[in-house]
Structure 1
Amino acid sequence: MSQCAPRARALAASALSVLLFVAGCTAGDDGGSVSRLPPVPGDVAADLTVTLQQSRLDYADRVVEIEVVNGSGTDLVLLGGTLESGSFGPSAETAKRPFLAQTLAVGGRRGVYVELGEPVCPPGPDGDAVVGPEPHAEVVVALGRRDTHGEPTTLDVPISDPGGHLARNLEEDCAAAAVASGLTLTQGAAVRTERREGENIAVITLSVERVSGGPDVRITRIDGSTLIDPIGGTAWTSGALSGQDDGVLELPFVPERCDHHAVAEDKRGTFLPVHATVNGVAQYVVYVPMPDDAKRDLFEYIADYCDWS
């Protein structure tokens, strides 16, 4: 018999052993999970502190953060989560901030970002938009670390909202729905500039279209913003709003500020804060967004007005 045969059989057996070992180590693998780690113990839920957060970067997109603090004595990995509230429909994963496995070590904090569901509003404009029973969150966690974790476990935990984010979003959503039932508000596709009394000013056009068969909606005030300073005061009122009966409002303004940093990082300054009544009932402020082309016009105007190099 060839002297190579025993050696070949030994190498084959060794390779098979390595394959079996690797298979045994990764059995049940699902994006980093390993079956030899058990599910999360049920008592861990009591040691998780969950808080609702919302930054100014996410405000316009109705995105909130489910922030989880691990007060247990066990390292975890945070895999996802949802917000459960009687005031909103099911929350959803956001395309901009998808769920990613994050190590949630003992004493650590991590967050899951979700988009709020459809608001549950009162039947009429005179009803108060009130947040329902105590909201809670379903967070998906596992034992281990981000790269090697056990089977996912969904835990139902209470969620606090010290910043009142749910109430604010609900009020805005329901006010927007009430106003939209009688008016369609749209910022124009361009911001034009003109000279008035030796000063270079800009003008926003706001289209006001009545909804056939809808309630009586009247605009009572439009505020300025962190970028926009209405000419003649801090808001457009009375005579400046007379054009709403003809379907078009012309809103002249100058820049609110000229510092590069604040303008570059601003996330809300292009929204027009509109105050209105629906059938005589005052509503929470409604924010009307600016189209992208108009945003470019606005920033070019600010750069020119502020004499940026």
Structure 2
Amino acid sequence: MPPDGRLSAHAWVGRAPAGAAAVVLAAVAAVAACTPGATGPAAPTSGGSSATGAPASPGPLPRSVTEGLTVEIAQARSDRVARVVELRVHNGSAADLTVLEGRLTSATTSGPAVTEEPREVGAGRTRALRAALAAPVCPRGGVTTAVDPAPVVELDVVDADGRRATVRVAPTEETDDLRRVHGEDCAAAAVAAGLELGLEETLTTRDDGTAEVVLRVRPVPGGPHVRLVQVGGTTLLRPASGYGPWVLDVDSAAPPPDGRVVLPVAPARCDLHAIAEDKRGTVLPVHAAVDGVALPPVFVAAPPALRGALHDFVLDACGSADDARS
């Protein structure tokens, strides 16, 4: 017997009758199960949780939802210089969705165009998601607009219950924007290989209500033969001599000695709506031929200083500057 006169549970069991020993062992097991750190069977879980306690997966989106998604590709006029397109997602299902990311792939670009941020698309609604196009893929030594873009859009979507899916869609294109963008991209690359183009920041105004915009040209050594044939008018600007394009004959093999092509300009229109909401009025379409092949127009955008000067010029020349600024 221990010095304090008490028996341990096991010692007492050894002296007790068999029935009493069984009761004591059951009590010891119960105490051990309640002791911190003790191991034993996990308590049962409820509420749809797994055996580890993690919430059960909400599962995938049903086909009745995913099959209701359609996409149209379009491009706003203000996005043409930045080469940004819109994925206009229509949710024809009865479930509100969030498009986490959209990816547009095309044979005309070097990689996918990825949407900028998630957008909610409610049931029966259409939302536009903007995506910048990757670098163009142009044919070696030339330009063609006959390439089939063959676009495909993938949408990562989720509903309010956390159900997710990646939906692959063949988009529609009412205005064939991808083919047009590809033609313009490759034309710009072909021209730039033989002749660098840019607009001077300074605008020279005249007393007769016209002004002079200067197109800078610089041949690229070893590049293809480039010939500029005309510059088109815009919603804000036209040639000072009348309506129509500026007719040119600028050859990369014999460029202007000072590298300057002067374009006399006048306002194309004076309504304040066109001036206040101008998007492309200071982007000049330059038509060229490379190695004798006529190309789609190459767009040369005015730098910020010239853009502001042109807006002021149009307002002043139209005699409505004070009204438009108020």
Taking the aligned partners of 2:73 and 2:248, their CA distance within structure 1 comes to 39
Alignment coverage as a number of residue pairs: 264
Are 1:265 and 2:277 matched, yes or no? yes
Counterpart CA distance in 1 for 2:72 and 2:286 is: 30
User: Which residue of structure 2 aligns with residue 184 of structure 1?
Assistant: 196
Residue 90 (str. 1) matches residue 90 (str. 2)? no
For residue 42 of structure 1, report the CA deviation from its aligned partner: 4.8
Is residue 121 of structure 1 aligned with residue 138 of structure 2?
yes
1:160 matches 2:178: no
* C-alpha distance in 2 between matches for 1:238 and 1:158: 42
- The residue type paired with residue 223 of structure 1 is G
How many Å apart are 1:113 and its aligned residue?
0.9
Offset, 1:245:
3.1
2:221 pairs with one of 212, 220, 225: 212
Distance (Å, rounded) in 2 between the aligned partners of 1:169 and 1:266: 21
Q: Which residue of 2 aligns with 1:277?
A: 289
Classify the secondary structure of the residue corresponding to 2:206: strand
TM-score after normalising by structure 1: 0.79
The alpha-carbon deviation at position 36 of structure 1 amounts to 6.1
CA contact (8 A) 1:48 1:70 kept: yes
Q: How does 1:106-255 map to 2 (within 5 A)?
A: 106-125=123-142, 127-132=143-148, 134-144=150-160, 150=162, 152-195=164-207, 199-233=208-242, 234-238=244-248, 244-246=255-257, 247-255=259-267
Of structures 1 and 2, the larger Rg is shown by 2
Question: What's the offset of the Cα at 1:286?
Answer: 0.5
Higher relative contact order (CA 8 A, sep 6+): 1
Q: Distance in 2 between matches of 1:99 and 1:35?
A: 28
SS in 1 for 2:196: strand
Q: Is 1:72 aligned to 2:93, yes or no?
A: yes
**105, 115, 122: which one aligns with 1:105:** 122
Task: Give me the whole-angstrom Cα distance separating, in 1, the residues matched to 2:89 and 2:316.
Answer: 45
**Residue of structure 2 aligned with 1:57, choices 63, 78, 101:** 78
Unaligned runs of 5+ in 1: 1-23, 25-33
2:171 counterpart SS class = strand
Percent of residue pairs identical: 39
